[in-house]
Structure 1
C-alpha cells in the first residue's frame, strides 16, 4: 500500500533515494559442497544473483567479491549468469573487491562493467593450477597393495597412489593450456583496451589493487558504500540480498528431508575436512 501511494505522488514529491541490491560472493569456488561448508558455485549463487537482478527500480547491481579462485567451470558459469541477467534486465554491474579476487575470483569479477578494489586487495592470477598429492610411498610403508582394473588405457592417469608418469603430466598441461586460453580470451573481451601491454599479465602473477589499476585489471579504488553514494547520491540505500535458510536447513540440507545417520554425518564431516584443506591452500597462496 505504501509503495502504491508513493507511485501516485507527483515525481517531485517522491523520495529520490536509490536502492542498490548487493550480493556477497565470498569463498572458494568449488562444485558441490557439504552440510558443514558452503562453497561458491552456480548452484549456491544462482538464486542470489537472480533475486538481485529482479529489483526493478535499481539502476545497478553491486557485487562484493572475496575469493582466491577454484573451479574454472563454476567460475565461468557464475560469470555468465551475471552477464546474461545484466543484459536481460539492462542493469549495470559494479564489482567491489575486498581481500582478493584472484584466478576464478577474478574471472567472476570481470563480469562487472566496473571493478573497484580496496588499495590493499589482491587481483589477477590469470592462470590455471592443478594440485594433488602422491601417496605411493605411504601405502608401501603401511603394507597396502593398490589394485586398479580399467577398460581403456588412459582411465587411471594421475592416480595419486601410483608414481607420476611423464605422459600423464603432459596431458594435464595440455588441458590446462586450453583452459588458460579460455580465461585469457574472456579477460580480453571484457577489459579490452583497458589492459596494459605487460608480458606478466597472463602468467598467473597477482598484484595489489594499486598496481592492478595501472595494469588495467580494475577501474578504480575505494569502498562500496562511498563509491555508490558518490555515483548515485547521498540517499543511496544498499540492500543486501540473501537467501533465507534456517539453522537445520543449513546444517542438514545435504541429507534431504530425512534425518542423517551416523555414517552420513561422518562422511559429510570427512568431506568437509578435505574441502577445508583445499580451501585453506587456495587462500594461503595470497598470504591470507
Structure 2
C-alpha cells in the first residue's frame, strides 16, 4: 500500500513537473524571440468573395473581421517576422475590401501579397497595400472597377398577371425595386455614386503602387490581366508561386532560416 502511495505521489509530482516545464517554455519563447529575432512567416488567406457573411459548405467568404483578427495576431506575435497574404478571390464588397486594406497598410511587419488563381477587384485593392505583389504568369489580376447590378422584372410581372403596389415615404425609397425601371434621374444618381467609388479605387491603387492617377485610369476600366501582363504594366512586382512569396517575405525580415505558420490550414512547418 505504501509503495502504491509513493508511485501515486511521484506520478502527481511528475505531472506537475511537466506542466511547469511547458509553462516555462511558453514564457521563454517571447524572450528568445526578442534576443534572436523573429523566425516565422505567417501566411494569411484571402479566399472567396470578400464580404461580411460567414463561410458555408458551398460558399467561402473572406470576412474582414476574421482577416483583421489574423493580422493582429501576426503583428503581435514576436516570433513572426513577416506576413504573406495568400489571395484567391474575385473581389466583393468595396467597404469590406477597404477595411482589409487598412489592416495591410497599418501592418508593423513586411507584407507580401501572393495571388494564386485570381486577385481581382476588391481583392486586388487589398493586395495593392502590400510591400510587394507576387502572381503566377497565368493568374487573373486587376479588374479595377465597380459594378452595380439591378433587375427590371416589370414586364415579367405583367405577363404573370402580378400587380405590385408600394407606398413609400421619400421620392427615391423604392429606387432599384425590380417591379419598375429606373428613372433618368435615378440612373444619373446611381452612376454618380458608382463613379465616385471607381475614382476612389483608382486613387487607392495609384497611391499604393506609386503610380500616377492618369496611368491607373488608363489601365483600369475593369480590365482583367494575366500575371505576366500585370507585371508588364506594374500592377504586380514579381512572378512566382507561394513558396517564392514566402521566401521573399522572409528575406524582407532578414530571416535566413524560418518556419511557416499557415493560418489557412492551421499548420506550421519548417522552411529554408
The answer to which structure has the higher strand fraction is: 2
Mark the CA change 1:59 to 1:35 in structure 2 (over 3 Å): closer, same or farther.
closer
How do 1:210-249 residues align onto structure 2 when only pairs under 5 Å count?
Answer: 210-229=228-247, 231-232=250-251, 235-241=257-263
Instruction: Tell me if 1:131 matches 2:153.
Output: no
Residue 198 of structure 2 is matched in structure 1 by 180
> After the TM superposition, which of the residue ranges 217-226 and 158-167 deviates more from structure 2?
158-167
Select the residue among 101, 105, 117 that pairs with 1:99.
117
Instruction: Tell me if 1:28 matches 2:43.
Output: no
Instruction: Tell me if 1:75 matches 2:106.
Output: no
Gaps of 5+ in 2: 1-23, 267-272
| Structure 2: distance between partners of 1:165 and 1:5 | 64
**TM-score w.r.t. structure 2 length?**
0.77
Residue 82 of structure 2 is matched in structure 1 by 60
Mark the CA change 1:44 to 1:38 in structure 2 (over 3 Å): closer, same or farther.
farther
Mark the CA change 1:140 to 1:116 in structure 2 (over 3 Å): closer, same or farther.
same
Residue 269 of structure 2 is matched in structure 1 by none
How far has the Cα of 1:60 moved from its partner?
1.2
How far has the Cα of 1:57 moved from its partner?
2.9
How do 1:1-288 residues align onto structure 2 when only pairs under 5 Å count?
Answer: 1-2=24-25, 4=28, 18-33=39-54, 37-84=59-106, 86=107, 90-193=108-211, 197=215, 200-229=218-247, 231-232=250-251, 235-241=257-263
* Larger-Rg structure: 2
Please tell me whether the aligned partners of residues 48 and 242 of structure 1 are also in contact (alpha carbons under 8 angstroms): no
Question: How large is the RMSD of aligned CA atoms in angstroms?
Answer: 2.8
Q: How many residues align?
A: 236
How far has the Cα of 1:235 moved from its partner?
3.3
Please tell me whether the aligned partners of residues 117 and 138 of structure 2 are also in contact (alpha carbons under 8 angstroms): yes
| Structure 2: distance between partners of 1:113 and 1:164 | 43
| Structure 1: distance between partners of 2:130 and 2:204 | 12
Please tell me whether the aligned partners of residues 95 and 116 of structure 1 are also in contact (alpha carbons under 8 angstroms): yes
How far has the Cα of 1:52 moved from its partner?
2.2
Could you list the structure 1 runs, at least 4 aligned residues long, displaced by more than 6 angstroms after superposition. none
Please tell me whether the aligned partners of residues 65 and 100 of structure 1 are also in contact (alpha carbons under 8 angstroms): yes
| Structure 2: distance between partners of 1:164 and 1:188 | 33
| Structure 2: distance between partners of 1:196 and 1:211 | 19
| Structure 2: distance between partners of 1:35 and 1:41 | 12
| Structure 2: distance between partners of 1:21 and 1:200 | 35
| Structure 1: distance between partners of 2:256 and 2:214 | 34
Please tell me whether the aligned partners of residues 25 and 65 of structure 1 are also in contact (alpha carbons under 8 angstroms): yes
**TM-score w.r.t. structure 1 length?**
0.73
How far has the Cα of 1:55 moved from its partner?
2.0
Please tell me whether the aligned partners of residues 50 and 64 of structure 2 are also in contact (alpha carbons under 8 angstroms): no
